Structure 1
Amino acid sequence: MMQQVPRALGLDFGTTNSVVALAAQGESHLVNFAGARATGAVFRSALCFWHDEDAKGGLAHEAGPWAIAEYMDYPEDSRFLQSFKSVAASPIFESASVFEKRFRFEELGQMFLARMIAHAGGTIDARPDRIIVGRPVEYAGSRPDEALARRRYDAMFAGFGSEIYYVHEPLGAAFSYASRLDRAATILVADFGGGTSDFSIVRVEAPGAERRATPLGSTGIGIAGDRFDYRILDHLVLPMLGKGGGYRSFGKTLEIPRSYFADFADWSRLALMRNRRTMEELARLQKAADDPVAIGRMMTVIEKELGYPLYDAVGALKRALSSQETATFRFSGGGLEIEEQVSRAQFETWIAPDIKRIEAMVDAALKKANVAPDAIDRVFLTGGSSLIPAIRRIFATRFGEARLATGGELTSIAHGLALIGEEANLAQWAA
């Protein structure tokens, strides 16, 4: 274990998971969370709220795996929020309704950070001056406002450290991978997160060089793990909740509004559907629907907070199909009983439009960096979705299997961010 006093802290604040690393004297180590609920160094980016008379304002909250445990014990009496990072750049999002209170993005973020610190066993109670926070190259959302995201991040991290720097997430992964290399190389880092996929091309010099790594160009796109999850929901679950069905209005049959099903695309929107206005709208829709039972299932999924087990089942299928040709999707709850065999080929058909856009973004990164494919010495794949075979084929086809490298899919960014924090010319890395 590292004995020196940490000089920098790297935080990979992710859509699905968050990871913290500390660096000193050119070495970094991960912060492992402590307690019965802990899951090592990976801390789920989630919050759970519930009423508690002893808590300030009568509302208690937890984060990470402790939030999941609280929700699983009392799903109908709690509010569970995950992937709230995905709304950081959204001008549409103003606040989240949690019972009778409303919370802005930065308030959710500060509560999350406070609980993450509390569960770190004292290791980050006192933090280094230099805090390096990862940020996506391209934020999630249809029309992301980068300046708005920056203001929200600044408010979220106010008080977390005296020097806050934001660095593109794939550059963190690149710096982590560079520590493995003993010679100069041009590398492409492909980082597949929960909300975005980012690509950076970096020139790495041999150990001992004055500047070890130089960014050449980056691109990003708001397509990643959450989008792949939604493709599974769209084909296996949403038709049973009424998608594609109709309802009667003034003597005409109209398609059930797709906006309801779009809200199943990510946790931040699905969790917020449980409000009186939305439930009253769905109750009226149910009376006019051609298939009222299907609308009833959707209402039950929302009312009983079944989002987590639903997405958990989706994630289990996606992971299984990364290593198997076929797998079984199983979900039970809210009047839904689904057990269906799914092949990898089916899944790849569902995500084919997304794969095509990711391929175009990889090509755009090469063009932006003015680097030809054959000039790339190594391709480093990181992030959970990098394990999907269809994703790996994008890079194997362009660069050859021998040039691909993986490892530390969930932790490499935090490692690299912490190491970047020790650089003398840190401002050159900041986004």
Structure 2
Amino acid sequence: MSETFLAIDFGTSNSLVGAYHKGQRVEALALDPKAADPTLLRTLLYFPHADLCYYGAEAIEQYIEQDMEGRLFRSFKSHLPNQAYLGTVISNRILTLENMVGIFLLELKKRAEKALGTSIENAVIGRPARYAMDDVAHGFALHRMQKAAQFAGFKNVQFVPEPLAAAFDYRRDLTQEKLVLIGDFGGGTSDFTLIRMRPENFRHEDVLAIDGCPLAGDALDSVFMSHRLNEYFGAKSRYRLPLSDNVLSMPYAVTQRLNHPAHIVHLKEKDTYEFIREVKKSSITEKDKAAIERLFVLIEDQQIFPFFEHIEKTKRDLSENANSNFKFNYPGIEVYEGFSQTQFLEWSQNTREKIFEGLDRCLSSAGVTSEQVDLVCLTGGTAKVGFIREELEKRFGRERLQTQSHFHSVLSGLVESAKFWSEGLKVIE
């Protein structure tokens, strides 16, 4: 087996790569020279046409430079457990989801090989505690990731739960045994590991429970669309088809795509796009028609990505402030709305409950109460959301909460997992 073991934190929003190379830890590699943090490669694919793809910061740069023509994909990792989502078509090229993920992993592999000066066949790849609540869907997602890793050229792969990797990162600085809860809050999933950690060697029986929920930052972004902003783009538009007296409203399948950052790009696919055209022709009022025209501007002028970036900014603002003004100024899509922290909390209630149900399951399956946990280590960008912190403080107390490096903690633990592998130890049996 090769001397090099790559560690890949393939995230919904950002991806990082490290390695265990020739007996040495290699922390986050600088893979994206155009990014503010070169170790963070945004999980983006931009196809100006079917035969060319850009990644990370360059994807955004080229997308803007080429007048936002072509297809920009974000949050595509979140489709993995969805058996109904097969992929997409760019011009006449069929691009399966496995190939889409594989193309991105291959780019990570190429950049890492260039940085390390060697070919790489072995990879430790982080995975959520749960891709989906349904076991079959979770297994399907993992199978897809295995196929994507093969597509990328990896011959030997281990998938390590991301919160367990974060636990390994914390363990390196430990001086005495502790019962630790790791909470990893990312873009697509919220994951938990309860682990008994000691400074000496890792043992499988130390991992008491792993659980989670396939909802996190993207789900919180989507509440702004589903509760208010989607009305600007025809979610409540009414129409009447020719030769019919029935008044219809925009179908649920369309509004669901509209609400989610990972799904909205697929409104551009031919059948859906033509259907929306028919809805516009059959709109009952000028207001209904204007809303759908706004949707066409959003899609045709490639404003989906910047619009959701504004939503992300609003979410961050409301984590610190009582109110936030949403302003999106683009010809044909002038949207001005005020949001409050109270609204955000109310709209996010279902997502919040599901996230903390995952935490409760983790504690319950280990037979542990919140009082018995010595430390709570938080990682991932969504850990900064105000009500996430407040709920954790209520359950565990502020003094037991510790925030790790938001983006590098999981990767550091994956590098540690790669080290274990090089020594003949599998982290997950």
Aligned to 2:382: 385
Q: Is the 8 A contact 1:140 1:222 kept in 2?
A: yes
1:53-92 matches, cutoff 5 A: 59-92=51-84
- Determine helix, strand or coil for the equivalent of 2:180: strand
Matched, 1:189 2:182: yes
User: What is aligned with 1:198?
Assistant: 191
Q: Which residue of 1 aligns with 2:15?
A: 18
Identity %: 27
In 1: Cα distance, 2:117 partner to 2:4 partner = 14
Q: 1:96 to 1:300 in 2, by over 3 A?
A: same
Find out whether 1:293 has 2:267 as its counterpart: no
Deviation at 1:143, TM superposition (A): 8.2
Q: Is the 8 A contact 1:35 1:119 kept in 2?
A: no
* In 1: Cα distance, 2:346 partner to 2:88 partner: 35
How many residues align? The count is: 420
- Judged with a 3 Å threshold, the aligned counterparts in structure 2 of structure 1 residues 227 and 124 are, in CA distance, closer, same or farther, namely farther
Q: How far apart, in 2, do the equivalents of 1:9 and 1:60 lie?
A: 26
Residue 100 of structure 1 aligns with which residue?
Answer: 92
- CA distance in structure 1 between the partners assigned to 2:141 and 2:425 by the alignment: 19
Question: 3-state DSSP class of the match of 2:146?
Answer: helix
Find the aligned partners of 1:37 and 1:137 in 2 and give their Cα distance: 28
Q: Distance in 2 between matches of 1:337 and 1:125?
A: 49
Deviation digits for residues 298-352 of structure 1, max 9, x if unmatched? Answer: 1221222211011111111112222323222121236221233322222112111
Structure 1 residues 398 and 37: CA distance shift in structure 2, 3 A: closer
Cα distance in 1 between the residues matched to 2:91 and 2:132 = 26
Q: Distance in 1 between matches of 2:328 and 2:191?
A: 32
Assess, with a 3 A threshold, how the Cα gap between structure 1 residues 336 and 236 changes in structure 2: closer, same or farther: farther
**1:141–1:187 distance in 2 versus 1, CA, 3 Å:** closer
Does the aligned pair in 1 maintain the 2:106–2:153 contact within 8 Å? no
What pairs with 1:9-408 in structure 2 (closer than 5 Å)? 9-23=6-20, 27-37=25-35, 39-51=37-49, 59-119=51-111, 122-124=114-116, 126=118, 130-140=122-132, 145-158=137-150, 160-205=153-198, 207-209=199-201, 211=203, 214-249=206-241, 250-290=244-284, 291-333=288-330, 335-408=332-405
Return closer, same or farther for 1:144/1:332 CA change in 2, 3 Å cut-off: farther
Distance, in Å, in 2 between the alignment partners of 1:299 and 1:177 is: 48
What amino acid is aligned across from residue 170 of structure 2 in structure 1?
Y
Deviations 1:188-222 (A, max 9, x none): 111112111111111101x2346498211111212
CA distance, structure 2, for counterparts of residue 89 and residue 348 of structure 1 = 27
Counterpart residue identity of residue 39, structure 1: D
Tell me, yes or no, if the aligned pair for 2:258 and 2:267 is still in contact at 8 Å.
no
Cα offset for 1:103? 0.7
Distance 1:402 1:242, change over 3 A: same
The answer to whether the 8 A contact 1:191-1:198 is kept is yes
SS at match of 1:145: helix
Amino acid corresponding to residue 15 of structure 1 in structure 2: T
Q: Distance in 1 between matches of 2:260 and 2:136?
A: 16
2:406 to 397, 409, 427: 409
Instruction: Provide Cα deviations, 1:119-138, integer angstroms capped at 9, x if missing partner.
Output: 55822452555421011111
Q: Report the Cα distance in structure 2 between the residues aligned to 1:149 and 1:358, rounded to whole angstroms.
A: 20
Q: Could you list the runs of 5+ residues in structure 2 that have no partner in the other structure?
A: none
Matches of 1:247 and 1:129 in 2, distance apart? 55
* One-letter amino acid of the structure 2 residue matched with residue 46 of structure 1: L
Amino acid at match of 1:152: R
Rounded to whole Å, the distance in 1 between the matches of 2:347 and 2:424 is: 42
Q: Which moved more, 1:337-346 or 1:301-310?
A: 337-346
Query: Does the 8 A contact of 2:133 with 2:213 survive in 1?
Result: no
The answer as to whether partners of 2:204 and 2:427 remain within 8 angstroms in 1 is: no
Deviations 1:44-63 (A, max 9, x none): 11101123xxxxxx621111
TM-score, normalised to structure 2, is 0.90
More displaced stretch, 178-187 vs 331-340: 331-340
- For structure 1, which runs of at least 5 residues remain unmatched after alignment? 52-57
Q: Which AA in structure 1 matches 2:157?
A: I
Shift of 1:35: 3.0
Distance 2:193 2:424 in 1: 18
Question: AA paired with 1:154?
Answer: Q
* Structure 2 contact 169–409 (Cα < 8 Å) conserved: yes
Compared CA separation, residues 64 and 142, structure 1 to 2 (3 A): farther
Task: Identify if the C-alpha distance between structure 1 residues 6 and 191 changes in structure 2 by more than 3 Å, giving closer, same or farther.
Answer: farther
Q: Which moved more, 1:340-349 or 1:226-235?
A: 340-349
| Alpha-carbon distance, 1:187 to partner | 0.8
1-structure distance, mates of 2:201, 2:134: 41
Q: Which residue of 2 aligns with 1:54?
A: none
- Conserved 8 A contact 1:173-1:413: yes
**How far apart, in 2, do the equivalents of 1:144 and 1:73 lie?**
42
Does the CA-based 8 Å contact 1:33-1:39 persist in structure 2? no
